[in-house]
Amino acid sequence: MLLATFFFSLMNVFVKMVDNIPAVEIVFFRSVVSLVLCYVFLAQQKVSVWGKNKKILLFRGMSGAVALIMYFTTLQFIPLASAVTIQFLSPIFTSILGVFIVKEKVKPLQWLFFLMAFAGVIMVQGFDPRITTFYLVIGVISAFFSGLAYNWIRKLKHSEHPLVIVFYFPLVTLPITGIYSAFDWVQPIGWEQWVLLLLIGVFTQIAQYFMTKAYQSEELSKIASLKYLGIIYALGFGYVFFKEKFNIMTYFGMSVVLIGVILNIWYKHRLTLKK
């Protein structure tokens, strides 16, 4: 999980480094790499790439596409750690949407944790003039669609091979991002940007592999909180690569978001143990 978080964090840095290229085009390049790698691995395992529940697989692909395009947009236009912090709302949306999609219950105390996380995001935006309301809304919508995508994945967990679920993401995003990019193409500058675009796809695939191995090898409660080290990576990389600094109240807002999300995960795990 530490390796997964590290590679995801490097992907964030590379996205920010190619800020002259539209987020949609970056998702296009990432999808090409993901499609090829998923297809090769599925072919080796002799698993059909089309899956069984095509409707839900398409929903997962579309919601994931919207989430990633908007997340990459925030990475490019607001401080790295702030974009990552707002994205941490996705587990909150996962729980709320789970009430309607997978019929999970939300306890009253969890709503308090949800409110805490949202309050922290408002603090981050309110105390940092670099984060406009527009990009805050974009980030929250990204987290919402991430939560939606996670719920579709949960509905598919007993019927589909994990790589088939991953495969449908580039399968859906390639036509959408490809058509858009054809009319708004920005040529990468020099071989450095081509390498960065390739690495975004490769590092994402590596990160997803390590994350899957972690979830398969250990109890969820023991490793889930490790991914929130991403905020530490984001603060460090943001300072080293982009000279990003924050005031004390912004740091406090980030802490409130993390506490709200982690308390929610801890409380859900505690309820599970009691069953």
Check residue 107 and give its pLDDT: 85
pLDDT value at position 108? 87
Residues of the chain with pLDDT > 90, as a percent, come to 56
Q: What pLDDT was estimated at residue 82? A: 95
pLDDT-based confidence at residue 217 (cuts at 50, 70, 90): low
> What pLDDT is stored for residue 163 in this prediction?
82
Q: Which residues of 104-141 are buried (b: 16+ CB within 10 A; e: fewer)?
A: eeeeeebeebbebbbebbebbbebbeebeeebbebbbb
Half-sphere exposure of 148 (CA within 13 A, CB side): 19
The whole-number pLDDT of residue 267 equals 84
204-224 average pLDDT score: 69
Query: Cα–Cα distance between 229 and 217 in angstroms, integer?
Result: 19
Sign of the Cα torsion 37, 174, 211, 232 reads positive
Cα-to-chain-centroid distance, residue 154: 16
Could you tell me if 262 and 88 are in contact, meaning their C-beta atoms sit under 8 angstroms apart?
no
What are the Cα distances from residue 150, in Å, to 63, 93, 119, 240?
Answer: 9, 9, 23, 32
Q: Tell me: the pLDDT tens digits for 220-266?
A: 555 666 777 888 899 999 999 999 999 999 999 999 998 998 888 88
Q: Is the dihedral of CA 250, 127, 72, 150 positive or negative?
A: positive
CB-CB contact of 113 with 267 (8 Å):
yes
Q: How many CA atoms lie within 13 A of 52 on its CB side?
A: 9
Residue 155, pLDDT score: 84
Which tens digit of pLDDT belongs to each residue from 133-142?
Answer: 999 999 999 9
How many domains, in total, are found in the chain? Answer: 1
Q: What integer is the mean pLDDT of 13-33?
A: 94
Name the residue among 242, 239, 210 with its Cα closest to residue 227: 210
Question: Residue 216 pLDDT > 60, yes or no?
Answer: no
Q: Which domain holds residue 123?
A: 2-274
CA 245 to chain centre: 23
pLDDT at 221: 52
> In this predicted structure, what is the pLDDT of residue 205?
84
Q: Which one is predicted more confidently, 105 or 194?
A: 194
Q: Residue 23 has what pLDDT?
A: 95
pTM score, whole prediction: 0.89
Among 11-15, 122-126, 209-213, name the one with the lowest average pLDDT: 209-213
Residue 102 confidence (pLDDT): 82
Q: Which residues contact 66 (CB under 8 A, 6 or more apart)?
A: 141, 142, 145
Give the model's confidence band at 13: pLDDT under 50 very low, under 70 low, under 90 confident, else very high. very high
